[in-house]
Amino acid sequence: MYTATTQVRVRYGETDQMGYLYYGFYAWYYEVGRVEAIRELGIEYKKMEEEGIILPVVQLTSKYIRPAKYDDLLVVKTTIPALPKAGLIQFECEIEDEEGTLLNIGKVSLVFVDKATRKKTTPPAYFIEKLRPYFETAPA
């Protein structure tokens, strides 16, 4: 398991007239969480795209527990629960407010796709290499 944490502050334009962070923006925050999580591993999503691999989303699940509000400085905790398998990777995301109250849980599945052919492909070797140490079982 690999986990990384980043912060996102709720922007005015992301609130709605209910006074809450609009439900559609959580997906954007999960994205920030993913990108920063792999950046901390030494992987730049941007470079992976430039090298010809894109990572479109195939499945999203969000559970809205408590509303986030304007100007909240949210903690976005992103977990990769397992190594990519069959060209698919999962990210789990917990969003908490500054007091540590859990507001939202997200799960996102993405597939590695060849940018030129738009066909499913395998992750780059370095992607797996960077992740592997977090998934090795300790020697008995």
Task: Please tell me whether residue 46 adopts helix, strand or coil conformation.
Answer: helix
Q: By CB under 8 A, name the binding residues for its own copies.
A: 9, 11-13, 15-20, 22-25, 27-28, 31-32, 35, 44-46, 49, 54, 56-64, 67, 70-71
Q: Which residues contact 91 (CB under 8 A, 6 or more apart)?
A: 30, 33, 34, 37, 78, 79, 80, 107, 108, 109, 110
Pick between residue 49 and residue 129 the one whose CB is nearest to its own copies: 49
16 is catalytic: yes
Q: Is-contact 124 84, C-beta < 8 A?
A: no
Pick between residue 35 and residue 83 the one whose CB is nearest to its own copies: 35
Task: Please tell me whether residue 25 adopts helix, strand or coil conformation.
Answer: helix
- The residue annotated as part of the active site, out of 16, 71, 72, 114, is 16
Pick between residue 17 and residue 137 the one whose CB is nearest to its own copies: 17
Q: How far is the CB of 32 from its own copies (least distance, A)?
A: 6
Q: How far is the CB of 85 from its own copies (least distance, A)?
A: 18
Residue position matching structure tokens 């809205």 = 64
Which positions are catalytic? 16
